[in-house]
């Protein structure tokens, strides 16, 4: 079976969430990913939510590093720099998400590496990009949420700005990094020349603000009010988070046809014909009344049942799922978005699956996340041709 990228080898220096997500997905698509970590400590994600009784294994690390080989290398040592440049000769892609200038200071920037491998794709993801007034600022998912307008547009109008809980922008940046790498590989395949490709958390995070910027301009530059769980400017009614027997649902009617369908579901057919409720414009004037009517119905049922009945009537509705429910969600399991694996050190646990199917095939988890330096013998031995004795010496000297 052909995998899309099974002719591509990636040397992966990334850490935390952003970069490792980019190489997780490139691995799902078939690339060979060699993850390079500092000796002894490993990358930063190994210390976040650590797994008890393991040597630097953590839940997010295991979830985000399936199907990768793991090697260690100290890029600050002269021998480490040499070995790194030898590795670069054997790969198609080097990818890193260090702060601006880190690789140049190590003497391992793109200008140096392309001397070793003129066909190299070198990909960099930083917080704000390599130029511009913010380029030197330290960044982090929630900081970018503040800077790009996610926080000021999340929350209630009478409350403070609020960040989204999950690190959405880390992953949004990570998948942009993967896209940039694939485009650069396409260019390299056509020209035979290497490519330097750059993106950043900040740049990847701005496009979703298209809605908020549009709303702001369309309303004559009036400051945007945080909408809570409603549409911007309360454009659709009903549209809110409603109570259910066992939690909440988000439910919205994008047009009057769906409102009438909802009236039938609620057993309130008389409202469908009532001019005080029949049109979105009328309902917007009676938002509190509409919300009370909808809540009366939603709280009479379990959230999944509200969603099921709405779905059957083509009304957009989602149950607000708690984190524990994700782990057992039947759709997530059937689609393989979370898959249980037997990890040799972490034990049985759920890891992320591929967000794509190509020709209806869902890429398997072929190997669990690597231990620190697990594939040193394989990579330094087979790829660079070092002897077992040389590898042992490198280990003793702390180079790997």
What is the maximum alpha-carbon separation in the chain? 86
Q: Which of 5, 87, 93, 400 is close enough to bind a second copy by CB under 8 A? A: 5
Residues 257-296 that bind a second copy (CB under 8 A): none
DSSP secondary structure, 376-399, as one string: HIIIIIIIT---HHHHHHHHHTT-
Residues 63/368, Cβ–Cβ less than 8 Å? no
Sorted by sequence, the CB contacts under 8 Å of residue 116 that are 6+ apart come out as 85, 88, 89
Give the range of 25-33, 76-84, 367-375, 385-393 binding a second copy by CB under 8 A.
25-33
Residue 275 backbone phi and psi in degrees, to 5: -65, -20
Could you tell me the CA-to-CA distances from 103 to 73, 75, 120, 200, 212 in Å, in that order?
Answer: 14, 9, 15, 16, 36
Closer by beta carbon to a second copy, 55 or else 214:
214
Catalytic residues: 170
CA-CA distance, 178 to 187, in Å (whole number)?
14
Residues 364-393 that bind a second copy (CB under 8 A): none
DSSP secondary structure, 191-250, as one string: HS--EEEEEEHHHHHSGGGHHHHHHHHHTTTPPPPPBTTS-GGG-SSSEEEEEETTEEEE
Residues 61/72, Cβ–Cβ less than 8 Å? no
Task: Tell me how crowded residue 286 is: count the other CB atoms within 10 A of its CB.
Answer: 14
Shortest Å distance, C-beta 377 to a second copy = 30
Residues 147-166 that bind a second copy (CB under 8 A): 147-156, 159-166
Q: Which of 47, 55, 115, 211 is close enough to bind a second copy by CB under 8 A? A: 211
Closer by beta carbon to a second copy, 20 or else 80:
20
Q: Tell me, by CB under 8 A, how many residues bind a second copy.
A: 144
Residue 258, both tokens: 């769906």
Q: Which of 38, 54, 59, 86 is close enough to bind a second copy by CB under 8 A? A: 59
Q: Which of 15, 46, 81, 226 is close enough to bind a second copy by CB under 8 A? A: 226
Give the range of 77-85, 218-226, 269-277, 381-389 binding a second copy by CB under 8 A.
218-226
The SS3 call for residue 156 is: strand
User: What is the x/- site pattern for a second copy, positions 170-209, by CB under 8 A?
Assistant: xxx--xx-xxx-xxxxxx-xxx---xxxxxx-xxx-xxxx
Residues 164/150, Cβ–Cβ less than 8 Å? yes
Integer Rg of the chain from CA: 25
Shortest Å distance, C-beta 266 to a second copy = 18
Does 248 contact a second copy by CB under 8 A?
yes
Does 143 contact a second copy by CB under 8 A?
yes
Shortest Å distance, C-beta 3 to a second copy = 8
Shortest Å distance, C-beta 265 to a second copy = 14
Does 223 contact a second copy by CB under 8 A?
yes
User: What is the x/- site pattern for a second copy, positions 115-134, by CB under 8 A?
Assistant: -------------xx-xxxx
């Amino acid at each position: 079976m052909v995998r899309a990228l099974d002719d591509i080898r990636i040397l992966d220096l990334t850490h935390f969430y952003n970069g490792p997500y980019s190489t997780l997905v490139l691995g799902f698509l078939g690339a060979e990913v060699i993850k390079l970590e500092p000796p002894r400590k490993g990358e930063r994600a190994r210390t976040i939510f650590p797994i008890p009784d393991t040597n630097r294994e953590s839940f997010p690390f295991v979830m985000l590093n399936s199907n990768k080989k793991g090697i260690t290398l100290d890029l600050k040592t002269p021998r480490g720099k040499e070995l790194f440049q030898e590795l670069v000769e054997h790969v198609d892609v080097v990818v890193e998400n260090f702060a601006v200038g880190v690789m140049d200071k190590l003497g391992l920037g793109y200008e140096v590496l392309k001397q070793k491998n003129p066909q190299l794709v070198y990909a960099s993801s930083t917080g704000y990009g390599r130029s511009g007034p913010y380029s030197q600022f330290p960044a982090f998912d929630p900081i970018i949420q503040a800077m790009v307008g996610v926080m000021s547009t999340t929350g209630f109008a009478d409350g403070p700005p609020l960040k989204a809980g999950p690190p959405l922008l880390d992953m949004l940046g990570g998948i942009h990094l993967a896209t940039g790498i694939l485009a650069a590989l396409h260019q390299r395949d056509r020209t035979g020349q290497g490519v330097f490709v750059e993106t950043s958390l900040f740049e990847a995070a701005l496009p979703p603000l298209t809605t908020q910027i549009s709303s702001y301009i369309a309303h004559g530059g009036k400051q945007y009010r945080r909408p809570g769980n409603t549409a911007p400017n309360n454009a659709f009614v009903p549209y809110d988070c409603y109570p259910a027997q066992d939690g909440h649902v988000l439910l919205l009617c994008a047009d009057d046809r769906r409102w009438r369908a909802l009236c039938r579901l609620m057993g309130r057919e008389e409202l469908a014909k009532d001019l005080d409720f029949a049109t979105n414009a009328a309902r917007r004037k009676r938002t509190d009344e509409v919300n009370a009517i909808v809540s009366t119905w939603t709280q009479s049922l379990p959230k999944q049942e509200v969603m099921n009945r709405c779905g059957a009537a083509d009304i957009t509705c989602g149950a607000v799922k708690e984190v524990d429910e994700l782990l057992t969600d039947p759709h997530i399991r059937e689609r393989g978005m979370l898959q249980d694996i037997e990890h040799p050190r972490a034990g049985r646990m759920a890891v992320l699956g591929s967000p794509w199917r190509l020709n209806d095939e869902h890429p398997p988890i072929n190997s669990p996340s690597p231990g620190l330096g697990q594939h040193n013998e394989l990579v330094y031995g087979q790829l660079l041709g070092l002897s077992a004795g040389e590898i042992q010496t490198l280990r003793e000297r702390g180079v790997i």
